[in-house]
Structure 1
Amino acid sequence: MNGIELDILKNIYLNQECSQRTVAMNTGYSLGRVNKAIKVLCEQDYINDDLQVLSKGAELIVANRPHNAIILAAGYGMRMVPIGKNMPKALMEVDGEPLIERLIKQLKEVGIHEITVVVGFMKEAFEYLIDLYDIKLAINTEYADKNNLHSLYLVKEKIANTYILPSDIYFFSNPFSKVEAYSWYMISNEQNDNSNVYINRKLELVKTHDQSHNNFMVGVSYINREDSIQLKKRIEELEHDSKNKNAFWEDALFDKDRMYINAKMINAANVVEINTYEQLRELDNKSNSLKSDVISIISETLNCRKSDIENIKVLKKGMTNRSFLFEALGQKYIMRIPGEGTDKLINRYHEQSVYKAIAGKGICDDPVYINADNGYKITKFLDGVRPADSNDDKDIRRCMDKLREFHNLNLEVQHIFDMYEEIEFYEKLRDTTSIYRDYSTTKANILKLKEYVDKHVERRALTHIDAVPDNFLFYTDETGVEQLQLTDWEYAGMQDPHVDIAMFCIYSMYDKERIDKLIDIYFEEKCSVQNRIKIYCYVAIAGLLWSNWCEYKLSLGVEFGEYAIRQYRYAKEYYKIAIEEMEKLNEK
């Protein structure tokens, strides 16, 4: 039987003494479709001519009766800025009720009492549900690195006559039932450009690259015992292929480009997916979850209503911060919210003093708002911005011109960025032995470079420290001219300006030929041998510094891949290069 026939069988089972017209009204199918389906059901002895369910039909319904539910609630909810940082999406409130509690209640209303919630981010916040609703928690420890395929993999053995659902949806009326006749995946009749599936005439869900007629995937599914065998097998296969760590669990429902279970369509008016602050505000503008010091700060700073803050979009997660774009009163802005552990890494009072020192100097736009107590910062958004390309000679020359211009200002602040002290600082932060087996030898070698560096520092001035290609921003001004500014001054302090050259090199992961070329561009072919060796020393010292930084961030669950090991390689390799060059210099 197809999905239509099974839907009609289910409806007849739930509504005894009904007519074909009543069935049509209940299911939304045309009277012609209902009539055709009833003929098939009668012919196959599932019902009789009086629309009474026979034993064969009842057995099918009983075999498919819902048994349990799995709620996936492990993720960060990154798009919920500015409130997702301190609260899981599942606990956002609508009409005073957390989303997940409403879903649990709706499941229990239809007799589903065995409920497992897979948690990860802020897992402790869900503990109260165990006592309040007698649910079980499953812990996903890899929620930061893997998508919800891994969450379902952890509880896959529970799948058999099971509802699987996300935790960030709100149903106005209960979508669950005491009776199910077959496996299905829920979509709405709303078209959605972000979806990659559509429902065909056979009520099948099919993948497509044409996004003009796609259906919104609600994320709720019902999997009966028979189909659970195939699903669990597919989950296992996908989980053990490393390329699928960012996969959604729905990928396991597809056989090539077609779902092997039926689609179940619901009216878009009955469901809301809450992925953003604005979606929550639209659903319930009085929700307690909307209360945010970030939104209050924006409103007060820009002298606008909270409702004027629109089009909030999370930006790419940076190495240190989480930032989001928003609009207010016709102007676009970027709000910076410090990332995990940032309070231990950055002195915001030092950063604030740096912005005072560079204010009005044409190096970068002044912040609209900056607060040293919490690290929040608001800046105007620049349209058409692109970061410098470290492999483009024209970009590199403009970056070095800008860097030289900044250094020649000889600005001063009261604090120093001491790379050796910072190495010690990060060692203490990570509070464990280095993952590199020869770390103590490498560090001892780096310490040997201090004498040469100190001897050859010509001057100290305000230095950016994080002068990497991503922080050189090209943009087009109102006159159509491409401009360049240097942004992100969190680490800036008094230091030898030549440190900035080394920082640009190691972030770009340059080899020695490219490093020498960059030095020549900055110095306009006039770099002394002594300064070149000193920059080699800075490459080595900075390499160890940022290697320690990466190790600390790794302890927080943040991985930087190749960048991390390359920094350690710079420490070892450029120590040798610097020593060799010193020896050559002494021989002359």
Structure 2
Amino acid sequence: MSINDQALLKVENAIIMAAGLSSRFAPISYEYPKSLVKVKGQVLIERQIRQLQEAGIEDITIVVGFKKKLFQYLVEEFQVTLVENSDYATRNNHSTLYAVKEKLGNTYICSADNYFTQNVFEPYVENAYYSSVYEEGETGEWCIETDATGLITDLKIGGENSWVMLGHVFFSSVFSKRFVAILESVYDEPETPLLLWESIYLNHIDELTLYSRHYSKEIIFEFDTLDELRKFDSDYIDSTGSKILEAISKQVSCKESDILRITPIKEKDVTTGFKCLIKKENYSYIYETKKLIKDKE
């Protein structure tokens, strides 16, 4: 290692967040976790594990919750560790980091559903950072404001022509120690369950040093909806692998590609089904009854 490399931080481990429901990715996420979807022939989470291991990061922990048993095969196949987040259905993603707070040091924090067209991981990192891509025009993502050094000074949900948070994060040991202390101090406050960990960070941004690290939009992808995935992987246009969509296509005599604009139906924060557009007609599908109903105009 060179003299310059000695100033870098050696990555100790990685945490992959895979506990959530991903309700916007209906109906596939109702049938199995989004991170187990195949994209361009590779399972999302498997591709990310391989990229981490190729960068020399062997200590990988996957935090699971929703349909946790479906992740068990990864232990034998990739020698990863599984940790359960039992609060995944009642708390936001901060609970995933709380479940592994003892493991946070010089640590990559990864979302299990990200797709990287090239390997973004490195064995040595200079500073704690959140990856970002540039969005032209209006966006509803977290928009980043920085000083001249790239230090994040503020975040705002929504904006235009801005660098936005997307992809992996690196916590330095200094950042981790301070963030865990803050997380522990606010965990039992009544407003905390609904907060993203990013919101907790923002509430204490003056105490936490995090930089914005820029990437091309051609490198980092996240698929919030099936429609977004279809734009990236054409295999999903006519065959999604969803038994629900297959049944719907038979019921209304259409192709799966005709089922568009799928959005979840929620009642008291519980996803009960989804709405969709089929040949210019609006429908609702209810999971419990397995019924497709044409919406009244």
Shared fold per TM-score greater than 0.5? yes
Pair 1:143-2:88 in alignment: yes
Aligned to 1:331: 281
Q: 1:268 aligns with which of 207, 213, 217?
A: 217
Q: 1:103 aligns with which of 30, 43, 48?
A: 48
Identity level (%): 28
In structure 1, give the amino acid aligned to 2:120.
P
How many residues are aligned here? 292
In structure 2, give the amino acid aligned to 1:279.
E
State the alpha-carbon separation in 1 of the partners of residues 187 and 142 from structure 2.
22
Secondary structure of the residue aligned to 2:218 is helix
Q: 1:237 aligns with which of 185, 189, 203?
A: 185
Q: 1:186 aligns with which of 123, 131, 134?
A: 131
Secondary structure of the residue aligned to 1:85 is helix
Q: Which of structures 1 and 2 has the larger relative contact order (alpha carbons within 8 angstroms, sep 6+)?
A: 2
Secondary structure of the residue aligned to 1:121 is coil
Aligned to 1:349: none
Pair 1:283-2:232 in alignment: yes
State the alpha-carbon separation in 1 of the partners of residues 209 and 56 from structure 2.
27
State the alpha-carbon separation in 2 of the partners of residues 324 and 145 from structure 1.
20
Q: Deviations over 1:362-391 (max 9, x none)?
A: xxxxxxxxxxxxx322222245xxxxxxxx
State the alpha-carbon separation in 2 of the partners of residues 114 and 277 from structure 1.
31
User: Shift of the alpha carbon at 1:158?
Assistant: 0.9
CA contact (8 A) 1:317 1:323 kept: no
Aligned to 1:36: none
Q: Which has the higher helix share?
A: 1
In structure 2, give the amino acid aligned to 1:284.
D
CA contact (8 A) 1:321 1:336 kept: no
State the alpha-carbon separation in 1 of the partners of residues 48 and 205 from structure 2.
30
CA contact (8 A) 2:64 2:84 kept: yes
Aligned to 2:146: 200
State the alpha-carbon separation in 1 of the partners of residues 268 and 171 from structure 2.
39
Q: 1:304 to 1:171 in 2, by over 3 A?
A: same
Pair 1:300-2:214 in alignment: no
In structure 2, give the amino acid aligned to 1:100.
I
Q: 1:93 aligns with which of 38, 42, 51?
A: 38
User: Shift of the alpha carbon at 1:102?
Assistant: 0.5
Pair 1:71-2:16 in alignment: yes
Aligned to 2:175: 227
- Structure 1 segments unaligned to the other structure (5+ residues): 1-12, 14-52, 339-374, 384-588
State the alpha-carbon separation in 2 of the partners of residues 197 and 111 from structure 1.
32
Pair 1:211-2:125 in alignment: no
CA contact (8 A) 1:253 1:261 kept: no
User: Shift of the alpha carbon at 1:286?
Assistant: 2.6
Q: 1:103 to 1:209 in 2, by over 3 A?
A: closer
Q: 1:270 to 1:221 in 2, by over 3 A?
A: same
Alignment of 1:293-442 (within 5 A): 293-317=243-267, 322-338=272-288, 375-382=289-296
Pair 1:254-2:195 in alignment: no
In structure 2, give the amino acid aligned to 1:237.
S
Q: 1:115 to 1:257 in 2, by over 3 A?
A: closer
Q: Deviations over 1:190-210 (max 9, x none)?
A: 256222322335324322366
State the alpha-carbon separation in 1 of the partners of residues 232 and 269 from structure 2.
33
Secondary structure of the residue aligned to 1:108 is helix
State the alpha-carbon separation in 2 of the partners of residues 261 and 200 from structure 1.
10
Q: Deviations over 1:65-117 (max 9, x none)?
A: 11100001111121121111120111111133211110100000010000001
Alignment of 1:100-179 (within 5 A): 100-179=45-124
State the alpha-carbon separation in 1 of the partners of residues 251 and 272 from structure 2.
20
State the alpha-carbon separation in 2 of the partners of residues 293 and 126 from structure 1.
20
CA contact (8 A) 2:167 2:221 kept: no
In structure 1, give the amino acid aligned to 2:141.
S
- Rg larger in structure: 1
Q: Which has the higher strand share?
A: 2
User: Shift of the alpha carbon at 1:156?
Assistant: 1.1
Q: 1:256 to 1:214 in 2, by over 3 A?
A: farther
CA contact (8 A) 1:196 1:214 kept: no
> In angstroms, what is the RMSD of aligned CA positions?
2.4
Aligned to 1:59: 6
Q: Deviations over 1:19-58 (max 9, x none)?
A: xxxxxxxxxxxxxxxxxxxxxxxxxxxxxxxxxx6x3x33
Secondary structure of the residue aligned to 2:272 is strand
In structure 1, give the amino acid aligned to 2:199.
D
Aligned to 1:83: 28
In structure 2, give the amino acid aligned to 1:381.
D
Secondary structure of the residue aligned to 2:248 is helix
In structure 1, give the amino acid aligned to 2:285.
M
State the alpha-carbon separation in 2 of the partners of residues 196 and 217 from structure 1.
6
State the alpha-carbon separation in 2 of the partners of residues 323 and 242 from structure 1.
28
TM-score for both structures, normalised by structure 1: 0.47
Q: Deviations over 1:377-415 (max 9, x none)?
A: 2222245xxxxxxxxxxxxxxxxxxxxxxxxxxxxxxxx
CA contact (8 A) 2:145 2:155 kept: no
CA contact (8 A) 1:83 1:289 kept: no
Q: Deviations over 1:396-447 (max 9, x none)?
A: xxxxxxxxxxxxxxxxxxxxxxxxxxxxxxxxxxxxxxxxxxxxxxxxxxxx
In structure 1, give the amino acid aligned to 2:173.
R
User: Shift of the alpha carbon at 1:317?
Assistant: 3.3
CA contact (8 A) 1:198 1:213 kept: no
In structure 1, give the amino acid aligned to 2:10.
R
CA contact (8 A) 2:262 2:277 kept: yes
Secondary structure of the residue aligned to 2:30 is coil
